[in-house]
Chain A
């Protein structure tokens, strides 16, 4: 047994190795990227296959193939990746897995490192009927990863390990076993169309089987006490006569315990580790004798709603608090939970009144020498007034910040092209859509084909800086290197664009400003869609390569 300080994401990797994972796939995104980064470094030594896939849907599908072939799999992504792969996730819950599969999903309450939405991935539990475990600290990242593999193995279903940024990017001591040596496993796909083909009428039978599995997992979780009650025994606790209890999940549990410590409280706490399927009996038993219960969970009040339903049967008079005292927007912290506890118990929670200095915001900016500087300045200068600038997901989102201020919409991976097409079809305005190389491979190509097929003519600029930069420099299909750093086919963006039917294509180095200016001017007057590939290596990567 070893004990070391690990990042939450490192603890997940360590546990997956202990569980004997064979096959890991994913797509990088904050706060989950380090899971894949770490596997990229160690996979070959540890007898594990690792890939950065082109997107999360492909990553999950690859893992499905591996699981059906008997390999223990792990898939990693940030919250939005779950949207991308959801189309494969739902039928996977119907068919079930063969070898176990854990899906690591990182949420980002407060959107510290995310645009697009403050997504709560727990919601997918209800759509897909997939078990969801919620670690709160690094030790639980480790322990719950192993538990997730166990549950997956036992019930032949994928299991989501849902972290948040304060869990995935937390460092804390973790106790673990050093994983033993193993060889790269070769699986065997044993044909079983009855299980792996989701055609009707079998598909409805599969749904019934899935719902039955949920009941079995519920019963198993009750028996194994995966969700459990602690505290409430000291004189400060419910024994005070007020009969107040707390139900808490994720990092909210840590804030709760810290707030209790500061306030000298020891209320009984039902800690929810398995969010779904909900352990209804455990919850019913917990709330049965209480007068008040507070549900501490980040973002949407899913647990609170569940408690409300259970209380109707068990204890209709109980006062249930949750989102009335805690915000639905933004992450929780000790102060927010402490103030909610104060309202509930009448105990005081002292907050330091701090004078917030009035300080200008330090916007994220392009790095010194970044090739995007050239592209941004040129399009800003050349584009006629009222041109619409489409943004996408990557470092070039900074186009929307001062001093550039050229981003009129910004949605999700690949959407700059799809939306550009819609604007062009609906207006007489010029549209310039930006997209990076990684994002183009991830989900830009379908949008590009659509602009050609359905005849619109935005100017699309592919910012090919030769790497997936923003998420921490992961390799992508345009680099000639795979996720483990091995040589791979280098996909040529120009050839892909040409094959999609684009006639006006120019590949250039944006440092040649005059050439870029002339091309933008020329292409903006074209009747058909045009694409400029601004190809120049990320400045950080170039410096790193120079320094060896």
Chain B
């Protein structure tokens, strides 16, 4: 792992608003004065299929992609998609996974997924019921990704200050959803 770069994977299924999270983190890294590059997928992959995105920042970033085992942080918006991307984890990697499962035909049992995640990362695995909390507290499951950013930021495992991410949210999120997003982010402070 390159000491100088901070590598983040954000994964989930199409339609979970992952591109917005990428935009926010890229802007937050830029606000903190880092060089940054990200890569995201649009198109058919968004129709409910697996979505895998990369954000990396540091002094000088060349490639928007990084390799197996090189993630500092994996944020998964779905348990199975979190497990799928554990190929990017090493001993150092923090995994923040939404305790939420979007089932599909052929899916494996939740227990197997959780066992897989624990096998991949025992000590730095955070299973966070973000969807449940956002639905209960805000009535909107859709901001669970923002909640997870807040969770990782206030746990200090995202390589960026919460204030920078909040600033970036202000830049990226449309005005009419801004308050909801900020509330979701800050809700994770007490988690």
Residues of A within 8 A of B (CB): 4-5, 30-31, 33-34, 112-115, 137, 165-166, 169-173, 251, 254-255, 257-258, 261-262, 333-335, 351-357, 359-367, 395, 397-398, 402-403, 470-472
| Contacts A/B (CB < 8 Å), 14 sampled | A137-B37, A169-B39, A169-B41, A172-B36, A254-B37, A255-B63, A258-B63, A333-B65, A352-B67, A359-B84, A363-B48, A364-B48, A366-B48, A367-B48
* Of the residues A165, A172, A353, A362, contact of B37 by C-beta under 8 Å: A172
Question: Judging by beta carbons under 8 Å apart, are A364 and B69 in contact?
Answer: no
Instruction: Indicate if the CB atoms of A112 and B87 lie closer than 8 Å.
Output: no
Query: Which of chain B's residues has its CB closest to A108's CB?
Result: B43
Output the nearest chain B residue to A253 by Cβ-Cβ distance: B62
Looking across the interface, which residue of chain A has its beta carbon closest to that of B2?
A: A262
Q: Is the CB of B62 within 8 A of A254?
A: yes
Q: A395: which B residues are within 8 A, CB to CB?
A: 44, 47
How far apart are the CA atoms of A169 and B37 in the complex, in Å?
A: 10
B residues at A contact (CB < 8 Å): 2, 13-15, 22-23, 26-27, 30, 35-45, 47-50, 60-70, 80-81, 83-84, 86-90, 104-108, 116, 120
Bound together, the chains give a CA A115 to CA B44 distance in angstroms of: 9
Docked pose: A261 CA to B86 CA in angstroms: 24
Distance in angstroms between the alpha carbons of A393 and B66 in the assembled complex = 31
Which residues does chain B contribute within 8 Å of A359, judged by CB atoms? Answer: 80, 83-84, 108
Contacts of B41 in A (CB 8 A): 112-113, 165, 169
Do the beta carbons of A333 and B63 come within 8 Å of each other? yes
B42 close to A33 (CB less than 8 A): yes
Chain A residues contacting B39 (CB-CB under 8 Å) are 166, 169-170
Bound together, the chains give a CA A34 to CA B45 distance in angstroms of: 16
Does the CB pair A172–B26 fall under 8 Å? Answer: yes
Whether B2 contacts A166 by the Cβ 8 Å rule is no
Min CB–CB distance A174 → chain B (angstroms): 10
Establish whether residues A351 and B80, one from each chain, have CB atoms under 8 Å apart when the complex forms. no
Contact of A172 among B38, B87, B105 (CB under 8 A): B38
Given the contacts A172-B37, A173-B35, A334-B66, A365 and B43 also touching, CB distance less than 8 Å: no
B47 and A362 contacting across the interface, CB-CB below 8 Å: no
CB pair B69 A352 closer than 8 Å? yes
A335 vs B70: C-alpha distance when bound (angstroms): 11
Query: Which of A333, A355, A359, A395 has the most chain B CB within a 10 Å cutoff?
Result: A359
* Chain B residue contacts of A166, Cβ below 8 A: 39, 64-65
| A255 and B26 contact, CB distance less than 8 A | no
CB atoms of A258 and B38 under 8 A apart: no
Q: How far is the CB of B116 from the nearest CB of chain A, in Å?
A: 6
- Say yes or no: B108 contacts A356, CB within 8 Å: no
- Kindly list chain B residues whose C-beta atoms are within 8 Å of the C-beta of A362: 13, 48-50, 80-81, 104
Asked whether A333 and B67 contact (CB < 8 A) given A170-B37, A363-B104, the answer is: yes
**Which residues of the other chain, B, contact A398 by a CB distance below 8 angstroms?**
47
Distance in Å from the Cβ of A546 to the closest Cβ of chain B? 15
Q: How far is the CA of A19 from the CA of B64 in the complex (A)?
A: 27
- Does A352 lie within 8 Å of B43, measured CB to CB? no
B69 near A254: Cβ-Cβ < 8 Å: no
Please determine whether B44 and A357 come into contact, CB atoms closer than 8 angstroms. Answer: no
User: Which residues does chain B contribute within 8 Å of A173, judged by CB atoms?
Assistant: 30, 35-36
Top-7 shortest CB links A-B: A352-B69, A113-B43, A30-B43, A258-B63, A257-B62, A364-B49, A354-B68
Chain A: minimal CB distance from B15 (Å): 7
Whether A261 contacts B104 by the Cβ 8 Å rule is: no
Interface centre among A334, A354, A360 (most CB of B within 10 A): A354
Q: A262-B2, A362-B48 are in contact. List 15 more A-B contacts (CB 8 A).
A: A166-B64, A172-B35, A251-B63, A254-B63, A261-B60, A334-B63, A354-B69, A355-B87, A357-B120, A362-B50, A363-B48, A363-B104, A364-B48, A397-B44, A402-B106
Which residues of A have CB within 8 Å of B60?
261
Give Cα A349 to B108, complex, Å: 35
Check A470/B63 contact, CB under 8 A, given A171-B22, A172-B36: no
Residues on B with C-beta less than 8 A from A165 are 41
Which chain B residue lies CB-closest to A33? B42
The CA of A34 and the CA of B43, in the complex, are separated in Å by 11
Contacts of B81 in A (CB 8 A): 362
Cβ of B94 to closest chain A Cβ, rounded Å: 16
Whether B47 pairs with A364 at a CB distance below 8 angstroms is yes
With most chain B CB atoms within 10 A of its CB, the pick from A171, A351, A355, A471 is A171
Point out the residues of chain B lying under 8 angstroms from A114, CB to CB: 43
Q: How far is the CA of A114 from the CA of B41 in the complex (A)?
A: 11
User: How far apart are the CA atoms of A171 and B26 in the complex, in Å?
Assistant: 7
Nearest residue, chain B, Cβ from A29? B43
Instruction: Name which residue of chain A comes closest to B23, CB basis.
Output: A171
B30 CB → nearest A CB, Å: 5
Given known A-B contacts A112-B45, A171-B23, A172-B38, A360 and B108 have beta carbons under 8 A apart: yes
Smallest CB gap from B47: residue in A: A364
Chain A min CB distance to B33 (Å) = 10
Compute how far the CA of A459 lies from the CA of B119 in the bound complex, rounded to whole angstroms.
53
- What residues of A have a CB within 8 angstroms of the CB of B83 in the complex? 357, 359
Specify which of B23, B35, B43, B87 lies most central, judged by the most chain A CB atoms within 10 Å of its CB: B43
Contacting residue for B43 out of A31, A172, A262, A351, CB 8 A: A31
Across the interface, which residues of A come within 8 angstroms of B70, CB to CB?
Answer: 352
The residue of chain B having its C-beta at the shortest distance from the C-beta of A358 within the complex is: B108
Do residues B47 and A351 form an inter-chain contact, with CB atoms below 8 A? Answer: no
User: Are A5 and B26 neighbours in the complex by a CB distance under 8 Å?
Assistant: yes
Known contacts A169-B41, A364-B49: does B62 contact A357 (CB below 8 Å)?
no
Q: How far is the CA of A171 from the CA of B70 in the complex (A)?
A: 20
A9 to chain B, nearest CB (A): 10
Rounded to whole angstroms, the CA-CA distance of A255 and B65 in the bound complex is 8
**Distance between Cα atoms of A403 and B106 in the complex (Å):** 10
Once the chains bind, are A357 and B104 in contact (CB under 8 Å)?
Answer: no
* Assembled-state Cα–Cα distance A495/B27 (Å): 49
* Complexed CA–CA distance, A355 and B117 (Å): 12
Q: Tell me if A402 and B105 are in contact (CB < 8 A).
A: yes
Question: From B12, which residue of chain A is reached at the shortest CB distance?
Answer: A362
In the bound complex, CA of A419 to CA of B62 (Å): 45
Measured CA separation A92–B83 after assembly (Å):
51
